[in-house]
Chains A and B, each alone.
Chain A
Amino acid sequence: MTTSTIRYPRYHEDFQALAAIRPGPSWLVDLRAAAWDRFNELGLPTARRGNERWKYTNLRPLAAIAFESPQATDSTGGLDAGTVRSLAPWDEAWTNLVFVDGKFSEALSTIAPAQNGTVCSDLASALNGNSGPVRDGLAQLASFDDDAFAALNTAFINDGASIQVPDNAVTASPVNLVFVSTAGPQPQVTHPRTLVQVGRNARLTLVESYVDLTGGSNFTNAVLEMAVGQGSHVDHFRLLMDTPDGFHVGTSRVLQGQDSSVTSSSFTTGAAMARNDFLVTLDAPGASCDLRGLYATTGSQHIDNLINIDHAKPHTTSRLFYKGILSGKSRAVFGGTVTVRRDAQKADSRQTDKNLVLSHEAEVDSKPSLLIYADDVQCGHGATAGHIDQDTLFYMQSRGLDRATATKMLIQAFAAEIVDTVGVEQVHGFLETVFAGSIPAESVVFGGRP
């Protein structure tokens, strides 16, 4: 630790407290210390000029709050099993890991019998047991060199999930991670960390849900690292249901091996500020990924998706399709960069961002970029923003539907293009009922200014 000034005393206090209570193995002590130093050097990226990664998202409100780490309470946080089950997609036959205020809750979790050698555990126990794969895997994909949030999360690595799928293992039932925030006396911060290591020719379905029950300004700073081995397939779902005053920064880093495929769907509602920072590296020939997303904002919410795909090797394929529905005074940011590196020939990429803007005060900022350094490629992107098509609406009205119903149907149809790609029945059902209900139909405006 250098003698440089401590820029965030509240985080520093909690960092020292964690090191004292849960020191863990020595490599972890070093990792956390290095990450803390880096975080202290970088600081939160609040600059409003020359800060391309955060061009459209102002982090000053987040930086102004002295979040505190949750005090140790009983591991259920006062929640009962029935409530938890209604908060996120759930099936008793799955492996369900529940985290309350960042801490694993054994009482609320249900762990299915191990399938084909797959290891699912909370990260805290894995760290306690000084698990080899965890030691070798942590902080390998989520670099904190130039990412303050990854650095902050790494400095606070303590709990989360650890999943190892061995070669040739097919985990038939999904692994379900539910992160719940409950009320504290002060705004709270949690740093859940998830490490997923999938071997060769294996298969995994992973569901992550982040729920806030408080209505307060909690901050979740989550990091997911997922390495997918040769010939493996992963279905990933990320559901964020935050409160209107909540803050969420999700950093996901995926590394794909030869002929592997990943489909990842992200669904986001709520949040005063939510960031979904997703990077997939297609690191071997034949790797492919299909990323989809749906975001719905209302009130004064702000959702920022930064989706990057790195075609590092030849013969790689990527698809990216995000859709947004905006109302109120909300703002949605989409930043996506597809990079095709030198010699990554035969890359095939398609990137699309479509936005439905339903109110006069809402704002869409979209920046879908292509950085191409190889010549034999097929890459494209498209972005649209607009309101509901008046001709379609007129047609539906002419068939006897009232305007409100027709509007609602069209919004649902717009969302269905993403929702209906979800192949896991429980997740699809959950999205259709719970999530769809949070898409606002009010404050829809048409034509000129009222």
Chain B
Amino acid sequence: MTTQRVISRTDTTSSDLDTDYKWGFTIDIDSDVAPKGLSEDVVRLISAKKGEPEWMLEWRLKAYRHWLRLNYEEPAWANIEHPQIDFQDIYYYAAPSSGKDAPKSLDEVDPEILEAFDKLGIPLAEREKLAGVAVDAVLDSVSVATTYQETLEKAGIIFCSMSEAIRNHPDLVQKYLGSVVPYGDNFYASLNSAVFSDGSFAYIPKGVRCPIELMTYFRINQADSGQFERTLIVAEEGSYVSYLEGCTAPARKQHQLHAAVVELVALDDAEIKYSTLQNWFPGDRDGQGGVYNFVTKRGKCAGQNSKISWTQVETGSAITWKYPSVILQGDNSVGEFYSVALVNNYQQADTGTKMIHMGKNTKSTIVAKGISAGHGNATYRGLVKIMPSADNSKNFTQCDSLLIGDKCGAHTVPYIEVRNPTAQMEHEASTSKVSDDQLFYCQQRGIGVEDAHYMIINGFCRGIFQELPFEFAMEASQLLKVSLEGAVG
């Protein structure tokens, strides 16, 4: 392990990138990085660095060996194009080095890191703007701070970084880790299982309604590093939790890889609401740089009457490849997926969901809105699968796409598999441009073309934004505006 000073070299910073991305700064901190490339030694090193027990290392190695057998064959079915990723040219572990062990309190956290998160609008001090939200801040590969620990502890809720969870709550982690997304699930999930460095763990005990929102903020800082975090949320019987996730990265010319895994488990009568504002660096106007976002997110409604709801606003990343899914195993369980995916410039998004109906009377709702501008391509790809055991299950799917400009593309690829006659399945999709009549009406009332577009697009996404917690909804609407800059007019 080497300690390396991260220097913001001019060729990797935003100075010569043509972008409006305002979260693109880098910070200058000491970083612990593992040598570039992936090998069994790196996997062992990551595990050792985190002081993990033997079973965890074994699991990582199993995943790594499985991944090796895949022979660098990335899944090729998505509607995305990118140059071959060199998996040996990536730092798999980068951590802000604190000089000593993990910081005991906020006071011990590097002030530069605190400032960085402050600048991102994520105050780690328990105060003001995001009061009432417990934040786990993850910088590069590790969690740097988790706020409101005390409040949560009082309610019996465990909310900490994954590394801490492995050390302090091994039984829970061992029981649930990989239970929804097994290490052999897909190429990127296997990679993540082998090298994941941190992430968040939340456990809501029986009958507890989580009093505040839980949030993890992910930030990539280190150049040429991949971020591989792993999140696990377990909601025991009759509990409720709302979890938010936000992310940004510096603007760099090189592409960066982000391959996360999120697993949710909802037991009887439990509800998990998971909201994402994905704002990784999307690349500049010419498609230079940007994050490759290959994420596996899946929830399991394991218990009866359980509910899992995914809401995502995807405005960032050069490539988005993610399909937050729900396995509706318990009878009467409910799965929801609300999504806004926006692509501008040369961004590509292939995103959607999978709803696997297994229990009786299970219901799922899918509402996906795609907005394509510039040279962007947005694809909705979804699967609704009704198993023979899913009597009286229902699905409603609506996918709408808006096109802005004649160089972009909007695609809808739904897969519908029905194996039970009592199921009711409905799918609707539409694709069109912003209506000339609506634009004309706005302009005639004195609203400029650009503002009129924002207004109409905001209205188009309104149904999704309403599913977001209030602060997030405001931010999402702002993000949309920034991301669309230059697309109209």
Contact = CB atoms under 8 A, between A and B. Distances in A.
Contacts of B407: 342
Given A377-B403, A378-B432, A370 B412 contact: yes
Interface stretch (B31-39, B256-264, B421-429): B421-429
B391 A449 contact: yes
Nearest to B397: A383
Nearest to A380: B430
A444 B299 CA distance: 35
Contacts of B419: 362-364
Interface in A202-244: none
Contacts of A369: 411-414
A52 B77 contact: yes
Nearest to A351: B429
B414 A383 contact: yes
Interface stretch (A146-154, A384-392, A431-439): A384-392
B440 interface: no
Given A382-B427, A382-B429, A385-B423, A375 B416 contact: no
A343 interface: yes
Interface in A99-130: none
A47 to B, nearest CB: 13
Nearest to A331: B419
A367 B76 contact: no
Contacts of A364: 416-419
Could you say which interface size class chain A belongs to? 35 or more
Given A383-B427, A387-B422, A365 B406 contact: no
A373 B378 CA distance: 10
A448 B422 contact: yes
Contacts of B413: 367, 369-370
A350 to B, nearest CB: 10
B415 interface: yes
A449 B422 CA distance: 9
B425 A383 contact: yes
Nearest to B407: A342
**Residues of B contacting A: mostly:** strand
Nearest to B413: A369
Given A370-B411, A372-B411, A385 B418 contact: yes
Nearest to A368: B414
A374 interface: yes
Nearest to B400: A380
Interface string B142-172: 0000000000000000000000000000000
Could you say which interface size class chain B belongs to? 35 or more
A424 B358 CA distance: 46
B348 interface: no
A376 interface: yes
Nearest to A334: B416
A381 interface: yes
A370 B411 CA distance: 5
Contacts of A384: 425-427
A375 B391 contact: no
Nearest to A374: B406
Interface in A378-411: 378-387
B199 interface: no
B409 interface: yes
A50 B422 CA distance: 31
B418 A360 contact: no
B420 interface: yes
Contacts of A357: 418, 420-421, 423
Contact of B421 (A359, A375, A383): A359
B417 A365 contact: yes
Given A345-B406, A378-B432, A367 B415 contact: yes
Contacts of A377: 403, 431-433
Nearest to B395: A385
A446 B391 CA distance: 11
B408 interface: yes
Given A364-B417, A369-B414, A50 B77 contact: yes
A447 interface: yes
B416 A382 contact: no
A297 interface: no
Interface string A312-333: 0000000000000000000000
B404 interface: yes
B423 A381 contact: no
A198 interface: no
Which of B420, B421, B430: most chain A CB closer than 10 A? B421
A371 interface: yes
A374 B408 CA distance: 7
A447 B424 CA distance: 12
Given A52-B77, A386-B423, A375 B404 contact: yes
A191 B118 CA distance: 71
A51 B406 CA distance: 31
A448 B389 CA distance: 10
A96 interface: no
B392 interface: yes
Contacts of B388: 360-361
A288 interface: no
Interface in A334-366: 342-343, 345, 355, 357-366
Given A367-B416, A372-B411, A386-B423, A448 B391 contact: yes
A372 B433 CA distance: 11
A192 to B, nearest CB: 33
Which of B401, B404, B422, B426: most chain A CB closer than 10 A? B422
A445 interface: yes
Contacts of A374: 403, 406
B205 interface: no
B416 A365 contact: yes
A445 B388 CA distance: 14
A375 B414 contact: no
A370 B423 contact: no
Nearest to A379: B431
A362 B412 CA distance: 26
B317 to A, nearest CB: 21
Contacts of B405: 375
Nearest to B408: A375
B430 A371 contact: no
A385 B425 contact: yes
B410 interface: yes
Contacts of B391: 448-449
Contact of B409 (A50, A355, A372): A372
Interface in B411-468: 411-433
A54 to B, nearest CB: 14
A365 B420 CA distance: 12
A370 B412 CA distance: 5
Given A50-B77, A448-B391, A449-B391, A381 B421 contact: no
Nearest to A358: B421
B421 A370 contact: no
B398 to A, nearest CB: 10
A174 B420 CA distance: 42
A342 B424 CA distance: 36
A386 B425 CA distance: 6
Contacts of B414: 366-369, 383
Given A372-B410, A375-B405, A448 B418 contact: no
B402 to A, nearest CB: 9
9 A-B pairs with the lowest CB-CB distances in the bound complex, closest first? A375-B403, A357-B421, A366-B416, A385-B418, A380-B430, A370-B412, A383-B427, A379-B431, A364-B418
5 contacts: A364-B416, A365-B415, A369-B412, A382-B428, A382-B429
Interface of B: 76-77, 360, 388, 391-392, 401, 403-433
Interface of A: 50, 52, 342-343, 345, 355, 357-387, 445-449
